[in-house]
Chains A and B, each alone.
Chain A
Amino acid sequence: MQRFIVTRLIYGVFVVFLAVTAVFFMLRLTGDPVLLFAPMDTSAKDLDEIRERMGFNDPLWVQYGRYMRDALRGDFGESTRLHRPATAVVVERLPATLELGVAALGISLAVGIPLGMLAAVRHGSVWDRLAGLLAVIGQAVPNFWLGILLILLFAVALKWLPTSGRGSWEQLIMPAVALAAASVARYARLTRSAMLDVLRQDYIRTAHAKGLSPTRVIWGHAFKNASISLITTTALEIGRLLGGAVVIEQMFAWPGVGRVTVQALLNRDFAVVEASVVLFAVVYTVANLLADICYAWVNPQVRVS
C-alpha cells in the first residue's frame, strides 16, 4: 500500500508538472499572447513595449524555462489589472472557495446520504420514488439556473436572503445549496444502490435473525459496508464541486478563485489566468489522487496493477 501511495504521489506530481506546461503552451498556442490578453484599444507601440517587458520576444523555450522556474517558486508575474502579484490575487481568494466548497459538501452528505438510505430501506415505496425523482432532477438542472430560481424565491419574492456577496452566513446559503444540488443527487443515487447491494447479503439476514433492532442492522451493519464506495466518491466530489464553483461564484458574486478566474479571462489578465488555472489543476489533481488512494485502500486488487 505504501508503495502504491508513493507511486501515485510521484505520478501526481508529474501530472501537475505537465498541466503547468499545458497552461503555458495553451495560452501561447494561438500566436501572440499579447494580442490575446492586452485590452482591445492598446496602441501598436504599447503592444511592443508589453511584449518586450513580458519577454514575449524571446525564443519559446527560453520563455518556457523562465516560466517554469518562476512557476516552481509560485510566481506567475503581475496582474495587469490589479498591479499586484497574480499568485497573491488568486491565493487570497482560496478561503472563500473552500468555505463555499465545504458548505456544499456538508449539504450533499447531510441530505444525499439519508435520502439514499431511506430510498434503499423503503425500497419501492413512495420515498424511493421521491428520492429517485429528486436525483434525476438534481442531475439535470443546471446549477446556475437553480441559483437563479433560489434568488427569485428567497431574495426577490420573500426577501429573506441577500442576492450576492460574502460575509454573513445568510450569504452562504444560496450559493452553497445551488452548488450542492447535483452532488446531493449523486450521493442519493450512489447510497441507494450501495445499500441495496448490501441489504441483499446473507449477513444482514443473520443480523435480523439474531434479533438486532432494524436501526442497528441498518446503521451498524449495512451502512458501514455501503459507506466504502461513498468515501471514494467524496474525493471525486471535491473536484466536481470545485468545477461547479467556477459558475456559481460568478453568479452570486462570491469572491472565490472561480470568480477571479472568470473575471481574469473576461479582463484578459494573463498572469492571473495562469496562476488560477495552475491552482485549480493542483487542487483537482490532489482530489483525484485521494480518490485513487481511497479506492485502492478499500479495494486491494487495484494496488497490483
Chain B
Amino acid sequence: MTAKALPRAATRGRLTRFRSALTRDYWALAAVLFLAAVVLLAILAPLLVDGDVNRPNYGVRLKPPLTAGHPLGTDQMGRDVLDRLLLGSRISLVVGFVSVVVGGAIGTAIGVLAAYYGRWIDTILMRLADVQLSFPFILLALVINAIIGLGLRNIIITLVIAGWVEYARIARGEILVLREREFVEAARVVGAGNLRIMLRHLLPNIATPLIVISTLQVARFIVAEASISFLGFGVQPPTPAWGSMISEGMKYIFNAWWLVTLPGLALALVALAVNTAGDWLRDVLDPRLKI
C-alpha cells in the first residue's frame, strides 16, 4: 500500500491522529513548538541582529549577560552574544537538515540498489559500509574534514560522507525482506519496471524507519558539527557557529562563563528537542521500531 493510494478520508484521519497524539504528549508538544520557534528565529535572524555581528567593539569587551543593550553579554571582542547565537542557529540547522537530507537520499538509494539487485553490487557496497563502520564516527568525520578542507560547505559534505551508511544499512535490511513479498511479484507481472517497483512500491514501504532515523540523525549531526568546529576544524571563526563560539570562549573560561555555557545550552536544547520529537514520531508511526 502506498501513501498515495490512500483515500483522502484516511489521510485526513492520519493528520488528526498526529495532532491528537501530539496534544496528549506534553513533552513532544513542547519540543515541536520549541523547534518551530528556533526555525523561525533562524530564518528571521538577519533582520533581528543589528549590523555586522563579526565587527569587534572593544569598548564593551566581556560584558556579562543583562548588560544594557546586550541581554546575553558580549564576547572577548565586544561582539553581542545574543546576535551571534541567533546567526549561529542558522549554521546548526542548515548543517543538520542539509546533511541529513542529502546523506539520507544517497544512503537510501545505495541501500535500495544493493538489496534490489543483490550479488556483487550488494557485496561491494556492504563491505564499504563495514569498513566505514570500523572507524568511530567523529574520528572519521574529523579526518575527512581535515582532508577536504574547512568551512560550512565542506562540513556538510563531511557529514554526508560519514553518515550515509546508517541509511544504506536500514534501507537494505528492509528491502531484502520486502522484495520477496507478493505485491512486488504482482507489480512485475502487470508490467512494472525495476525503477517503478523501487520508487512506487518499495520506497514508500520503508519510509517510516527512514523518517524516524533521519529525525534522530539531525540532532546527532548538529552535535557532530559543533564538536568538529569545537576541535578547530569545520566552521571557522569569526563565523558564529555554536561549536566555534564555545571553542573561542574556552580561553576566557575563568572570567566569562557565559561565552562557553550559552552556545552549549542552545546546542543541548535543540538536540534535546529534536530527539524528543524523534522519539515521539517513532512511537506514533511504529511503536515496534527498534531504533
Residue ranges of A at the interface with B (Cβ–Cβ < 8 Å): 15-16, 18-19, 22, 26-27, 29-30, 36, 136-137, 139-145, 148-149, 151-152, 156, 239-240, 242-244, 246-247, 250, 258, 261-262, 265-266, 273, 277, 280-281, 284-285, 288
Is A242 touching B231 in the complex (CB atoms < 8 A)? no
Q: How far is the CB of B254 from chain A (nearest CB, A)?
A: 6
For the complex formed, measure the closest distance between the CB of B236 and the CB atoms of chain A, giving whole angstroms: 13
A145 to B264, CA, bound (A): 6
Contact A152 B260 (CB under 8 A): yes
CB of A144 within 8 A of CB of B144, answer no
A-B CB pair tally, cutoff 8 Å: 112
Interface string of B263-274 (1 = CB under 8 A from A): 011011001100
| List of A residues within 8 angstroms of B159 by Cβ | none
Task: Check A262/B231 contact, CB under 8 A, given A26-B144, A148-B253, A156-B253.
Answer: yes
The binding surface of chain A is classed by DSSP as helix
A29 B267 Cβ-Cβ under 8 A: no
- Inter-chain CA distance A239–B132, complex, in Å, is 14
A148–B268 alpha-carbon span in the complex (Å): 13
Inter-chain CA distance A271–B260, complex, in Å, is 34
Closest chain B residue, CB of each to CB of A145: B264
Beyond known contacts A262-B142, A265-B142: 18 more, CB 8 A cutoff: A15-B131, A19-B134, A29-B147, A136-B275, A137-B272, A140-B219, A140-B275, A142-B264, A142-B268, A144-B230, A145-B260, A148-B253, A149-B264, A246-B138, A261-B142, A262-B232, A273-B143, A277-B135
Q: Quick one: which of A136, A137, A247, A288 has the most chain B CB within 10 A?
A: A247
Chain B 246-271 interface mask (CB, 8 Å, partner A; 1/0): 10001001100100110011011001
Chain B residues within an 8 Å CB radius of A285: 134
Chain A residues, CB < 8 A from B217: none
Give the distance in Å from the alpha carbon of A281 to the alpha carbon of B144 in the complex: 15
The residue of chain B having its C-beta at the shortest distance from the C-beta of A257 within the complex is: B139
Considering the complex, which residues of chain B in the window 124-153 have a beta carbon less than 8 Å from any beta carbon of chain A? 127, 130-139, 142-144, 146-148
Q: Scoring B residues 20 to 35 as 1 if CB is less than 8 Å from chain A, else 0, what string do you get?
A: 0000000000000000
The CA of A246 and the CA of B143, in the complex, are separated in Å by 12
- A247 near B227 with CB under 8 A, answer yes
